[in-house]
Chain A
Amino acid sequence: MTTLTDKPASPARAQVAPPAPKPAKGRTAPMRSQVLTTSFLFLVATYFLMPVWWLLVSSTKSSSDLFGSNGFWFADWNLGANLRQLFDQDGGIFLRWVLNSVLYAVGGGLVATFLAAMAGYGLAKYDFRGRGTIFSVILGAVLIPTPMLALPIYLMLSKVHLVDTIWAVLLPAAVSPFGVFLAKTYAEASVPDELIEAARLDGASEFRIFRTIGLRIMSPALVTIFLFQLVAVWNNFFLPLITLNNQHLWPVTLGLNAWNSDPNQPHANLVVVGALVSVLPLVAAFRSLQRFWRTDLVAGGVKA
């Protein structure tokens, strides 16, 4: 990449230099650049953590302190009272919203992951006519933004009277074209054809091979697909907003938005503590599944 004429001295020097200091010099950077780099990283971290800190502090405040005290520091401790009020408000509907979100995100995520695994495995391991076309169609679907689909889905579901039922959120949540894309890429690279052949010779059925060999080998990809879908469904706002009128079916994002939409903010302290509570399940999911989460699949997928 760099031409020799750029720096004629360097290759020569490298040959002359004693071998010992070279790796040492490579391992530790100079003090000045360490300090500079780390301070910059700290500065950026402050930006990312500031709203989170504000949320932690503010969830302990009463409504009046929320507007009357320094937002970055604690006032009177009201976390317990806020939480009690949060789960009592409107007959305890907040808990209902959280459980709905869990149902939509976990249920939709699990089904989507399983279906994507099957489809991806099928596309990767079986040769059949139209395979390329099917894959292109699925890949094209990745590029269609979900909010643009939400409106047609709403119109269609209203025709079959599924609007305002849990299926209006669960059915779309169970489809993940991006998951198929990831599963196919991963299955192609990691499930050996010889293993499938050997299992076939042993008389295992195709589905059993998929279940016992395919799924197991693909598990890192599956966790990634599941987490992606979990986040996507948990974050989804537009689709439930237009398809769900009954507030007992709302996911937590919709509920918080409804409480927050009153310009006078009578529920401000509930919105804040509710925001904190609604974030915890996702953070917990990430913490426990983080070890298996593979972003390099996303990056590597493009090369394929």
Chain B
Amino acid sequence: MFLAPFGVLFAAMYAVPVGYAIVESLHKMQRSGLGLTPPKRVYAGFENYTKALHDDALWHGVGRVLLFGAIQVPVMLGLALVLALLLDAKSARLKGFFRTAYFLPYAIPGVVATILWAFLYMPRSSPVVSMLDAVGLPSDFLGEDAVLWSIANVVTWTWTGYNMLVIYSALQAIPQELYEAAELDGCGPWRTAWRIKVPLVAPAIALTTVFSVIGTLQLYTEPRVLRPLTSSLDADYTPIMSAYHKAVENNDYGQGAAVSVLLALGTCVLSFAVLKISARLTNGRSSL
């Protein structure tokens, strides 16, 4: 009935690929010693998984993405929360203009955003680099150490406005009487923001956190677009790049599928952890 059309496509585009990836991850191509006969697909058990778990390049990618998330997600969501609170505060002017300005990057595709920032990172074209040079601050945005944070900047630029809008909508839903009561209790604007607004929008913050964490783990577009422009990014720079590299460029589907399955499992565990932690924090605060 109503579910059927969605269900069919959902099964085809979600359930079947997931199942297929799991099956594929348990197989490998066996080449004969002389390479005279075409390779055969044979059952490999968990061989692909043990290989993936012993893959240093993959672990480096995972570590890199986790470090990225540990810094970028709090910075971005902190900024989004501050902006949402300020736009919700009485002292802000030109709210409509600011909301549009902050949200605009969301309408710019990740590829285009990265291309834009790449022009602003490359010494040859960047007015920013030449300005920093002029004041005696040489910068190398695409260097080995800096490039991860240059990517973080692109992601922050693209997604802060979207997250701000989600939190802002939650703020708008708070009944006005609560503020009046707070004011009668002698709450200043800071106290109201911290003790009333933040706890009440905690579910929205939790949701944006989960989506940001997922977004971090699937980091791909930005480094992939920057890769041709700098030598600081290798083929295994992020886990997704690694999976693609193995499956398509190295023609080892089983290995790529195993990495994908491991990543999906890792993502689920991490998102559930974030949900659990944020649920505990929210409960802890409202019971005060």
A1 and B288 in contact (CB under 8 A), knowing A33-B91, A54-B120, A296-B170?
yes
Give the residue name and chain of the B residue nearest to A44 (CB).
Answer: B83
Nearest CB in chain A: distance from B210 CB, A: 8
**Binary contact readout B216-250 vs A (1 if CB under 8 angstroms, 0 otherwise):** 01101100110011000000000010011001100
A300 and B91 in contact (CB under 8 A), knowing A71-B125, A171-B13?
no
Q: Which of A265-304 contact B (CB under 8 A)?
A: 268, 271-272, 275, 278-279, 282-283, 286, 294-296, 298-303
**Binary contact readout B231-271 vs A (1 if CB under 8 angstroms, 0 otherwise):** 00000000010011001100001001100100110011001
Give the residue name and chain of the A residue nearest to B195 (CB).
Answer: A1
Would A275 and B267 count as touching, CB distance under 8 A? no
Cα distance, A98 to B202, chains bound together (Å): 40
Would B16 and A156 count as touching, CB distance under 8 A? yes
B10 at the binding interface (Cβ < 8 Å): yes
Cα distance, A77 to B10, chains bound together (Å): 50
Kindly specify which of B29-37, B41-49, B109-117 makes contact with the partner chain. B109-117
Would B2 and A138 count as touching, CB distance under 8 A? no
A118 at the binding interface (Cβ < 8 Å): yes
A145 at the binding interface (Cβ < 8 Å): yes
Kindly specify which of B55-63, B70-78, B143-151, B185-193 makes contact with the partner chain. B185-193
A51 at the binding interface (Cβ < 8 Å): yes
**Binary contact readout B21-39 vs A (1 if CB under 8 angstroms, 0 otherwise):** 1001000000000000000
Q: How many residues of B contact A (CB 8 A)?
A: 106
B127: contacting residue among A9, A72, A180, CB under 8 A: A72
B-side interface residues toward A, CB under 8 Å?
1-3, 5-7, 9-10, 12-14, 16-18, 20-21, 24, 79, 83, 86-87, 89-94, 97-98, 101-102, 104-113, 115-120, 124-128, 157, 160-161, 165-170, 172-173, 179-180, 182-187, 189, 191, 195-196, 201, 203-204, 206-207, 210, 214-215, 217-218, 220-221, 224-225, 228-229, 240, 243-244, 247-248, 253, 256-257, 260, 263-264, 267-268, 271, 288
